């Protein structure tokens, strides 16, 4: 579908470089600002799927922008402006080499480790006798390294400090901000009948000051459960009803793909692409409580380029 943005190769005034990630493209303007375009690419099992999903980039960008604005009283963040529904412009920070993962519930990676017999994750103890999706007494911060190549790895606070990845003073601030952001996200989710299960935050530094960077509380970086029926499902040992892109993974699994060697991504029909787009819009409306307003995507590349160019010119 040609009205989905799967790659951009713009050249803006003052541009130093461009980074093409799995989903996002980041333009460095004069080593001062970053222009982040959230594309319509979609990835699962570490593989970018062959077709873009219309409005997906807009959904993720606008959710992140909403939560960045709603948490700016807790910690300064990188966002300066959203000149286009798919674009955020912000401060260029030096990222910390760890991601702050926080878990309110025993699920996902934590549950797999627990089920394998481990009772400690990143140096955080996990009590005996817990069941999948049970709430921890207090949220656990389970950091990961930020790998340039390959997968991120679990790491403890002690190892972070011992290796000098982050100073003690900075790390204590990162912990404080992570708990406060998760508490705010939990409260905002509860207002929408949701449970913020776990999420990750990335931080950076500019001029000696810590900033929250990247996206926050989106369905790509966070896991949500529906609050209604949570206790009943927990008691029965049933899977929780999730608000995430898990439905895309399930479709791939049902069609014989889990990113393993020799497997081929199944054919994505236009009907499937439309249905995924509709699900992302549903995610947006559930998480934010706002009605999703579709941007004009007749010539989405030209729209994005013009909006960014106008903003960059105003800053130079």
Domain with CATH 3.30.470.20 in the chain: 95-243
Sign of CA dihedral 116, 118, 119, 122: negative
* DSSP assignment string, 4-29: S--------TTEEEEEE-SSEEEEEE
- Residue 264's Cβ-count burial label (10 Å; 0-12, 13-18, 19+) is exposed
What backbone phi and psi angles, to 5 degrees, belong to 132?
A: -55, 135
**CA–CA gap between residue 91 and residue 69 (Å, rounded):** 15
Residue-level pLDDT at 3: 87
Q: Starting at the earlier edge strand, list the strands of the sheet with 87-91.
A: 15-20, 24-29, 33-38, 87-91, 79-84
- Provide the phi-psi class of 58: left if phi over 0, else alpha when psi is between -120 and 50, else beta: alpha
What are the residue ranges of CATH 3.30.200.20 in the chain? 15-93+269-315
Q: What pLDDT score was predicted for residue 297? A: 93
Residue 291 pLDDT: 98
Query: Angle between the 270-288 and 246-254 helix axes, to the nearest 10 degrees?
Result: 150
User: Which CATH class name applies to 15-93+269-315?
Assistant: alpha beta
Q: What sign for the dihedral angle of Cα 15, 203, 52, 44?
A: positive
Under DSSP, the state recorded for 295 is P
Residue 2 pLDDT: 60
- Report whether 113 contacts 103 (CB < 8 A): no
Residue 32 DSSP label: T
Distance in Å from the first CA to the final CA of the chain? 35
Q: What is the CATH topology of the domain spanning 95-243?
A: D-amino Acid Aminotransferase; Chain A, domain 1 (3.30.470)
Which is it for the CA torsion 237, 241, 245, 247, positive or negative? Answer: positive
Q: What is the pLDDT along the chain (316 residues), one digit of tens a residue?
A: 468 999 999 999 999 999 998 899 999 999 999 999 999 999 988 899 999 999 999 999 999 999 999 999 999 999 999 999 999 999 999 999 999 999 999 999 999 999 999 999 999 999 999 999 999 999 999 999 986 655 679 999 999 999 999 999 999 999 999 999 999 999 999 999 999 999 999 999 999 999 999 999 998 889 999 999 999 999 999 999 998 888 898 899 999 999 889 999 999 999 999 999 999 999 999 999 999 999 999 999 999 999 999 999 998 7
């Amino acid at each position: 579908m040609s009205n989905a943005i799967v790659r951009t190769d713009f050249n803006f005034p003052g541009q130093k470089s461009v980074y093409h990630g799995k989903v996002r493209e980041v333009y460095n303007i004069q080593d001062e600002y970053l222009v982040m375009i959230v594309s319509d690419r979609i990835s699962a099992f570490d593989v970018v799927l062959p077709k873009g999903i219309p409005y997906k980039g807009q959904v993720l960008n606008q959710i992140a922008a909403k939560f960045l604005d709603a948490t700016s009283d807790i910690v300064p963040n990188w966002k300066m402006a959203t000149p286009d529904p798919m674009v955020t412009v912000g401060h260029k920070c030096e990222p910390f080499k760890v991601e702050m993962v926080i878990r309110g519930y025993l699920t996902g990676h934590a549950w797999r480790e627990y089920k394998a017999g481990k009772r400690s994750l990143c140096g955080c103890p996990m009590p005996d006798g817990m069941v999948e999706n049970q709430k921890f007494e207090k949220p656990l911060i389970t950091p990961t390294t930020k790998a340039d190549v390959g997968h991120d790895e679990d790491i403890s606070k002690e190892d972070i400090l011992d290796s000098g990845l982050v100073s003690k003073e900075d790390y204590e601030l990162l912990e404080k901000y992570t708990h406060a952001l998760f508490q705010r996200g939990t409260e905002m989710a509860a207002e929408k009948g949701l449970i913020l299960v776990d999420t990750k935050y990335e931080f950076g530094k500019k001029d000696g000051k810590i900033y929250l960077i990247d996206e926050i509380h989106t369905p790509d970086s966070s896991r949500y459960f529906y609050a209604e029926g949570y206790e009943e499902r927990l008691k029965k040992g049933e899977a929780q009803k999730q608000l995430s892109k898990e439905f895309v993974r399930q479709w791939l699994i049902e069609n014989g793909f889990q990113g393993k060697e020799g497997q081929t991504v199944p054919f994505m029909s236009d009907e499937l692409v439309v249905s995924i787009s509709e699900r992302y819009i549903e995610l947006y409306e559930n998480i934010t409580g706002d009605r999703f307003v579709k941007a004009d995507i007749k010539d989405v590349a030209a729209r994005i380029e013009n909006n960014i160019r106008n903003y960059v010119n105003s800053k130079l």
